[in-house]
Amino acid sequence: MNPTATHINYYFTCKRKLWLFSHNIKCEHESDFVKIGKIYHEDYDKEKIEIDNIKIDALRDGKVFELKKKNTAPKAAEFQVLYYLYVLKNHGTNTTGIIKYKENNRLQEVMLSEELEKELLEVLKNIELLCREDKPPEAKRIRYCKNCSYYELCFS
Ligand code: SF4
């Protein structure tokens, strides 16, 4: 399996969503939150860098640059950038990353330390195991449900 940034994000926000997504179960509904996020990212479309199965928003002074609308899932954002750094490292490029939060222009530095790399590898292994399960985890109401395209599927 070749995880994408979306797999990493769903691992930290909702494991049921990760399973549904990894089994190609799609819902038509797209929340306003997702639409706004896409509009913000359009600014960076020309700068996107694609390597293997990742798409980096841009490079700034040689650093990975990731734009986020809000700081709603900090661990997901951090591990998304750590994953980019890991893929780049495997291609012979050691660098660091910056997450910019559009809501307040806050910048967060991200570095792939030895310890975080170990944690990332554990996350990647867990993603693979979870996606291989026959059934998704049970639906539980969490803070991310209200903007989730799977809401009807989970709770109707
Ligand atoms: S609606 Fe909630 S429980 Fe269902 S997939 Fe989305 S976030 Fe997960």
pLDDT tens readout for residues 105-129: 999 999 999 999 999 999 999 999 9
Cβ of 99 closer than 6 Å to ligand 1, yes or no, is no
Residue-by-residue DSSP string for 39-68 = HHHHTTGGG-EEETTEEESEEETTEEEEEE
Cβ of 14 closer than 6 Å to ligand 1, yes or no, is yes
Q: What is the pTM (predicted TM-score) of this model?
A: 0.88
Q: CATH number of the domain at 50, please.
A: 3.90.320.10
Q: Measuring from atom 4 of ligand 1, which residue has the nearest CA?
A: 154
Beta bridge partner(s), residue 51: 54
Which pLDDT score is estimated for 135?
97
What's the rounded mean pLDDT across residues 130-148?
96
Which pLDDT score is estimated for 70?
87
Cβ of 7 closer than 6 Å to ligand 1, yes or no, is no
**Residue 97 belongs to what domain range?**
5-155
Q: How many Å lie between the centroid of ligand 1 and the Cα of residue 92?
A: 37
CB within 8 A of 135, min separation 6: which ones? 19
Which pLDDT score is estimated for 31?
61
Which pLDDT score is estimated for 40?
59
Q: Are 2 and 114 spatial neighbours (Cβ–Cβ below 8 Å)?
A: no
Separation CA 42–CA 22 (nearest Å): 25
Q: With bands split at pLDDT 50, 70 and 90, how would you rate the model's confidence at 47? A: confident
Longest dimension (CA), the chain: 48
**Number of domains, the chain:** 1
Asked if the model's pLDDT at residue 35 lies above 80, the reply is: no
